[in-house]
Every structure is written in C-alpha cells, then in structure tokens.
Amino acid sequence: MTLALDPTAQDLLFREAHTAYTFSDEPVSDEQIRAVYELVKYAPTAFNQSPLRITLFRSPEARSRLVKHMSEGNKPKTSTAPLTAVLSVDLEFHERLPELLPHAPSVKDTFFSEAEARESAGTFNATLQAGYFIVGVRAAGLAAGPMSGFDRHGVDKEFFGDGRQKSLLVVNIGRPGEEAYKPRLPRLTYEDAVTTV
C-alpha cells in the first residue's frame, strides 16, 4: 500500500470517476454543493487568496442564457444537466486579503495593487481551485462534466458585466444518466510525464 488513501476513495475520486456526458433527472441540492465547497475550500492557494467564484445556474431562464454561449457540442448536455456551475476568477480578490491573510495584510498592496498581477495570480490560483472543485464534486458521489468549449467573452459580458470576474470553466453536475461515460482514454505513462534530475 503505497497510498494512504483507501482504495474505495481512490476509485471514487480518480480511478473509476469519468467525465459524464449525460445525466439522470435526480436533482443536485444546494446542500450538496455546500458540502463540496466546505470541503474543498481548505485546499491551498498562494497567500490564501482564494480567488475562485462559483455561479450555480438553477433558473431555466439563466440556464438558457448560458447555453447560448456554449459550443454546439456542449449545448445539449448543458441544457439537461441537473445543475451547471460556471467557475470564475474574482479579479478583485485582493480586497479580501486582509481577512484571509490577517498576519500579513500588506500583501494586498505589495503584490496585488496592479490589475495585471491580480489577473495572472488570480487566474492561476482559481484554476488550481477548479481542479479541487472537480475532485470535490466526485467526493459528493456526483459526476462532473467540465467544459472549456464556450464563448468566454460572451459569458463574461452576459453574467459578469462589471468586468470583475472572468469565466474559466463550465461544469455540469449530476448523477450519470444512460450511456453517460465514454471509454477511458489512454494516459501518458509515468516515464512520459515525470523526469528525475
């Protein structure tokens, strides 16, 4: 046993988890997403900057406005998933740093007074958090369908019109439906991906 995590959890989060392409009708509750957030919020970001924001699309009206911006291949599943989340970065995340990093509140101004520095660090750290969130959805026993195929500028203009947030990833969430999974694709070998120096 090289891993401390038990095999059932390994399967749930990684080995038997697949991106879902169809979903059942079973709803996803706010309590489930709250439980996911309350778990993954602990995973690390630089200076604890915690720049990820999550927008849950529940109302049919909001959902149809979102679907318009999805690529053609992503429209049907985004229309029918029990819940769809837009993951975004808050480009003004630094405003919360005095609370999030109480022992070093000056980091807010020392490192993040420039919009360019915030966009770079915020996007990187919110993307790490997007990875944690996908693992967290699986920890809830739910299937995730992350999608990069959408019109970022369209989504940002329609839902984040003040420019404060930028969308990163759209994630369908639910129980897998019929023929939800495609066969597992190959992965790079350890030797391909890892080098020792």
Q: How far is the CB of 104 from its own copies (least distance, A)?
A: 10
Q: Which is nearer to its own copies, 2 or 114 (CB)?
A: 2
Q: What spatial distance separates the first Cα and last Cα of the chain, rounded to whole Å?
A: 26
Q: Which is nearer to its own copies, 140 or 180 (CB)?
A: 140
Q: Are 53 and 168 in contact (CB under 8 A)?
A: no
Q: How far is the CB of 140 from its own copies (least distance, A)?
A: 5
Q: Return the ∠ at Cα 128 (arms to 53 and 120), rounded to 5°.
A: 80
Q: Are 90 and 167 in contact (CB under 8 A)?
A: no
Q: Are 167 and 55 in contact (CB under 8 A)?
A: no
Q: How far is the CB of 76 from its own copies (least distance, A)?
A: 18
Q: How far is the CB of 95 from its own copies (least distance, A)?
A: 11
Q: Which is nearer to its own copies, 80 or 158 (CB)?
A: 158
Q: Which is nearer to its own copies, 22 or 125 (CB)?
A: 125
- The Cα–Cα gap between 162 and 69 comes to 18
Q: How far is the CB of 132 from its own copies (least distance, A)?
A: 5
Q: Which is nearer to its own copies, 104 or 115 (CB)?
A: 104
Q: Are 111 and 118 in contact (CB under 8 A)?
A: no
- The Cα–Cα gap between 118 and 146 comes to 24
Q: Which of 146, 186, 144, 154 is nearest to 68 (CA)?
A: 154
